[in-house]
Amino acid sequence: MVTTTKKPADNNKHSETPKAAAVPSFAETAMRLGGKSEQEARSMGAVDAADEQVEELYAPRYQTTASPVHRAVWDRSLPVEMFGFNEPPLKPSVEAAEVMSHSYDIVRSHAYHKDLIDEHGKITDEVLGELGKAGYWGLLVDKEYGGSGAPFTQFAKFLTRMATVDPTIAGLASVHACIGAVDPVSTFGNEEQKRRFLPKLASGESLSAFALTEPGAGSDLTALRTRAVRDGDVYRLYGEKLFITNVRPGRTVGVVCLIEGKPAVLIVDLPETETPEFQLKKYGLYALKHAYNQGIIFNGLAVPAENLLDPGRGDGLTIAYHGLNRGRVALCANASGTMRMMLANLLPWAQFRETYGESIVKRELVRRRIGHLAGLIVACDALTEWCAGLLDMGYRGEMECIIAKIFGSEAQKEATIEISMKTHGGRSFLHGHWFGDNVHDLLAPCIYEGEGEMLGMAFFKSLVKEHGRRYFEPIGKTLHAKGIRHPNLANPAHAWALKGPLTNYAQWMLTETARLTVRGTDSSFFAGFHADGKDNARALHSLWSHFDFAAKFLRNSRLEISQVMRTHQLKLPDRQCRMSELSARVQAGVVILCTSLYGGRQSDPLTRQAADVVCSHLRRQLTGKRASDRDLKKIVSLGGHIAEGGFEQIAGIPEAEILMPYEK
């Protein structure tokens, strides 16, 4: 059954003070009981401690166990109202809308005149300065500190629009405001720090970055070595950071470092020029070629002690994890805009290019690609709107934002290689062609904000954490306490020792197994969606079918997940392939659920049909079924309609030049 009970308004979204984890980490316990080294167990314990600190920033109703994805899998009813919004949770800012319109016009004008890029291949300082005067860099800064206070939903949708003109400039807004210094200071800074840093970050007087990655610390953030040593009224920074986007002399950087052995964040105003204490490490980087991405070497740089973000509000890892959620949604929004640009550029070429006397746009394979690309765009729109809305409502949204990041980056990768490159053919590799000139930028999001499969395992860990803590951790602790390394329930002593925790788990299993199948979901939620025309009505009916399938799939997945945990027990952390595969399946189910609801709310028939096409594709992946003739006809028909014009998602996007045209 679907529950549609509205969540009451809550003005206390965040807890007053974060607290240390009240119970031992499930992952750390499993590591120790499973025979892992003390170092690995401690590292996982540190990661889990940071995760718990982030959780404590939120009131219980907004924490991970209350999130839409967690409830869709583990609850006995689907909270359908949490998977889509008829209206934005927060009212859009009028001031921010004006800033966005002005900023878009600035970038569009410079793109038209082909002067966005300077002689070094970077976005010009002139453009960055004009955007600062327009208020672009202060979109997510509260009005009282000089920004325009845009809700995140409004900001994320705007990034999609900006990315249709220039994905790098759209990305820099996220680097500055989501994972740069704006979010750490806004969320974890004290009032004095906010008034000192935020106005100049809002105006663009100082653009920002976040220095987290190190030569030996990427996915394993517990391997940090950069340290800050107290010296009177200052901290002196020592260490090296790597792959830091948007870093230049004079900019403001949030630096994650160790202070007395514990992760912390210092807000650092970099010197205007390099010094013996501060140097930039320059290297060749294929991706992000239009932005500055450099390493930083600190050798005793003095930073005022008052620039330390209060560790009581969150340690360095906590602060890093918090900002990454916004960055992941922004990445999905950027991918949606970038793929719109791909589609807008693909259509003129497909109409121009002829094979055997006919334009390739009339070929089924090309139309299928067009239809599939439209589906990927709509799914990214759905995830962006959904995740941004959850963040605006006050949810932590970790699992949801991971899904958006993984799907958005993988969709852009597929669109780049399987659709755009193969359709443009050899011309893709000409100098001056947008594909060949930007292919690394188009593929790199698979790594940004966490590599996809690593994030998928983090998603799985968050999904099973509470279930493991409730049912499996007591079993492991009992075995450890009794010194039982190879449990055998035929042994009366073993069975007696485990009777308590095993009884609890058996009761859960009996209850869940008794529900042999999940009942269908309530179709009344879709009854309010308008369907004008036969094709539109068919698409709406298909979307309802996808929604029903995804709801039951997610509900049934709990038994498979629990079985995997039962099978591998303390060895589960080593079963990365199984965790990754299960994680990907759950993620696909969530994308179907979210996109089907989003598509049902759309008035544009082609957008609705695109949602149907991508849901059908993901559904076949989950069931292993081949595409039917009806499936192929739908996607080819959609591609044909888009080729003929009228797809509102790409309206007004400038087309790229066709290189080396030939006489027809």
- Domains of the chain from N-terminus onward: 208-308 (2.40.110.10), 320-664 (1.20.140.10)
**Parallel/antiparallel/unpaired status of strands 2-3 and 227-231:** unpaired
Residues 368-420 pLDDT 10s: 999 999 999 999 999 999 999 999 999 999 999 999 999 999 999 999 999 99
pTM: 0.92
| For helices 576-601 and 364-393, angle between their N-to-C axes, nearest 10 degrees | 90
Which is more confident, 90 or 76?
90
Q: Report, as an integer, the average pLDDT of 527-554.
A: 83
Residues 555-570 pLDDT 10s: 999 999 999 998 887 7
pLDDT > 90 fraction of the chain, expressed in percent and rounded: 72
Categorize the per-residue pLDDT at 176 as very low, low, confident or very high, splitting at 50, 70 and 90: very high
Q: Residue 184: its pLDDT value, please?
A: 95
Categorize the per-residue pLDDT at 551 as very low, low, confident or very high, splitting at 50, 70 and 90: very high
Q: Residue 12: its pLDDT value, please?
A: 42
Residues 453-491 pLDDT 10s: 999 999 999 999 999 999 988 888 888 888 887 888 888
Residues 270-308 pLDDT 10s: 999 999 999 999 999 999 999 999 999 999 999 999 999
Instruction: Tell me the C-alpha distance between 249 and 14, whole Å.
Output: 36
Report whether pLDDT(147) > 70.
Answer: yes
Instruction: Tell me the C-alpha distance between 470 and 307, whole Å.
Output: 40
Q: Report, as an integer, the average pLDDT of 318-325.
A: 88
Q: Residue 37: its pLDDT value, please?
A: 56
Instruction: List the structure tokens of 499.
Output: 């009777």
Separation in Å, CA 335 to CA 106, 168, 289, 427 = 21, 11, 17, 23
Q: With beta carbons less than 8 A apart as the criterion, state whether 156 and 388 touch.
A: yes
Instruction: Tell me the C-alpha distance between 464 and 459, whole Å.
Output: 9
